[in-house]
Amino acid sequence: MYVLIRFKRKFIKYIKVPLNRVLMLFEKCMNIYDTLVSQFN
């Protein structure tokens, strides 16, 4: 049981970093999209 908890923590840590990068990329894309849309309006 204890090993499972430790593994879970490692797993979450391992997944969190790429997820954060993807979210940051998504935000950047949304910002670019917003500026493009505001330029055309």
pLDDT digits (tens, 9 = 90+) for 2-36: 788 888 888 888 888 889 999 999 999 999 999 99
Q: What is the three-class DSSP state of 5?
A: helix
Look up the pTM and report it.
0.56
19 phi-psi bin (left φ>0, alpha ψ -120 to 50, beta other) = alpha
SS3 content of the chain, % helix, strand, coil (to 5): 95, 0, 5
Asked if pLDDT for residue 1 goes beyond 80, the answer is no
* DSSP state at residue 36: H
Closest by CA to 5, choosing from 37, 13, 34, 32, is: 13
